[in-house]
Amino acid sequence: MHALRKQRTISRSVSVSGFGFWSGRDVTVEFRPGEPDAGITFVRRDLAGQPRIRAVVANRIETPRRTTLNSGGVSVEMIEHVMAALYGLQIDNCEVWVNESEMPGCDGSSEPFVAALETVGIVEQSALRSRLVVQNITRLGDDESWVEARPSTNGGMSVKFRLDYGTGNAIGRQTLQLLVTPESFRRELAACRTFVLEEEAQWLVARGLGQRATYQNVLVFGKDGPLENELRFRDECVRHKALDLVGDLAMAGCDLVGHFIAHRSGHRLNAELVRALLNEEEMIQSRHRSA
């Protein structure tokens, strides 16, 4: 069993600017150091009273194709790439100040956030980081789409994602398995971008969404591959889905020790798995307290 590690935050503030892929609005996200045991908190500095939204699964609400948090009627959305960057780098305590509800899409990956966070440096804090150790197999979903947590065989968090777009398109079937560490996250996942099929992109634009997005910041797949763009990895699509999975699992608010397998899973199922694991952990702790 590995010893608990010390919590970490950033040494000073740093900002990333861009526009929201869904809203098209300009937005700046500012990462600020957080106190020990504070976790990740989003702060809407554009609203009266600067309301705060903790990045925990209890605050998640369902929205199509992205992860959204809501507390007291105040929301932040498309947070998964920010959360993946923070969890992937093992930054446990951070305040994320924003002047719009939607995070900047940038190039569709976590890389701009990772690059900014690494320019200011990461520092250890005195408190220990809590963790949840998966002890049983927990599986949610159906035959078409599912996600599963299994006990770890390596003392850390590993992910396996199976992407299946069938035949007749340039994405097809892809599988990735990875032990997630700060080094592997930077190297294998951080730069992998959001993707859609050309017909999906046309459907969204026809409904007034994604008006500022281009082929350069979203991978749009035609029948032969990305339009006006080049892949960073041959299997970039499944790598991005693994990145999204890491960002959603981060809403557990602690280190996760387990092996997480997803087959055509999305944000909703990922979050349901986090809820199930937290509920199971609470029941275990309750039995220990009453014993």
Residues involved in catalysis: 267
**In contact, 90 and 182? CB cutoff 8 Å:** yes
Q: Where are the beta strands (DSSP E) in 39-184?
A: 40-44, 52-54, 60-63, 66-71, 74-77, 94-98, 122-128, 131-133, 138-141, 146-150, 157-164, 173-180
Q: 123 φ, ψ to 5°? A: -125, 145
Element containing residue 157 per DSSP (H, E): strand 157-164
Task: Using DSSP, state whether 272 is helix, strand or coil.
Answer: helix
Q: Which residue has the tokens 């500095």?
A: 45
Residue that has been written with the tokens 């940038």 in this structure: 106
Rounded Cα distance, 41 and 68, in Å: 13
Residue 255 and residue 134 in contact, taking contact as beta carbons nearer than 8 Å: no
Distance CA 211, CA 226 (A): 19
Residue showing tokens 């500022």: 212
Contact 32, 14 (CB under 8 A): no
Instruction: Decide the pairing of beta strands 40-44 and 94-98.
Output: parallel
